[in-house]
Amino acid sequence: MGTDFFMSQKQELLKILSLIDLTSLEATDSESSISTLVEKANEGYQNHYPAAVCVYPNFGNFVRSNLKNEMSVAVVAGYFPSGQTLLHAKIAELESVNKTIAEEVDIVINRGLALTERWDDLSNEISAMRKAAPHKKLKVILETGELKSADLIRKVAEISISSGADFIKTSTGKSTVGATKEAAEVMCEVIKTHAEKTGKKIGFKPSGGIRTVEDAKLYFSVVNKILADDWLCPELFRIGASSLYDALISELKHADNK
């Protein structure tokens, strides 16, 4: 294989790297472990960096103060990962997040409301969290592995967008089933339809079980096929991952040694 092939492969890998929300959401996270994550993000690869670092909200200001400015800070909220608590507690959490210097917040829906088709309640919860953090980019996690059909995923995606989502996201990474190609296709179709009707572009973030370069390429191809080139940028497409980042760096070093 010629040099052009490996250069093309390298550019694809660098593009995927620039779409990653480099994530740590473990019960054992500490300032020390998050510092290591930030150092990894800041190092990047040949002046290419992840789109964001995603952490629990108590680390948001710490990450922002130590992360290079070209990357964003995302924190999780909405009683992550279950989505099960009192609405006023969720609102209070989002209000607290809104006072931090993190730029983005990933909230998780109450899947019980979706599974019992309490659409107004679901919409009201998302809208209330949106209003509580008006200055943050809002990514709404559907937890598609716990939804039972493509029709249900489609309905929840539509409600999330109409209730204020800037992005819709597949998974918390904490359920048995994370991102799937089928869920990604449904969500991207909803985003496409919304853009055609309103002219507004909503972002897409697959997350949960995306560990290999081939996994990432799968979702890259889904977005490219359904939403096309306009979405292949950090403003509209993120990949939530942790171990994927290390796999990408390894592949890039391999490509450079060819």
| pLDDT one-digit tens code per residue, 158-210 | 999 999 999 999 999 999 999 999 999 999 999 999 999 999 999 999 999 99
3-256 has which fold? TIM Barrel (3.20.20)
Contact in structure between 191 and 199 (CB atoms under 8 Å)? no
- Which residue intervals of the chain are DSSP H helices? 3-17, 31-43, 60-66, 87-98, 111-115, 119-132, 150-162, 181-198, 213-226, 243-256
Kindly name the residue from 136, 137, 139, 205 that is annotated as catalytic.
Answer: 205
Segment holding 203, helix H or strand E: strand 203-205
Kindly name the residue from 10, 136, 139, 169 that is annotated as catalytic.
Answer: 169
Per-residue pLDDT at 255: 80
pLDDT higher than threshold 50 for residue 225: yes
pLDDT higher than threshold 70 for residue 6: no
Burial group, residue 210, by CB count within 10 angstroms (0-12, 13-18, 19+): buried
Kindly name the residue from 106, 136, 166, 215 that is annotated as catalytic.
Answer: 106
Distance, in Å, from the CA atom of 247 to the CA atom of 200, rounded to the nearest integer, reads 34
Mean pLDDT of 86-97: 98
The CA dihedral of 206, 176, 93, 89, to the nearest 10 degrees, is 140
Contact in structure between 102 and 63 (CB atoms under 8 Å)? yes
Known active-site residue 15: no
| Residue 9's pLDDT band (cuts 50, 70, 90) | confident
Cα–Cα–Cα angle for 248, 206, 16, rounded to 5 degrees: 30
Q: Any idea what DSSP says for residue 176? A: S
pLDDT higher than threshold 80 for residue 3: no
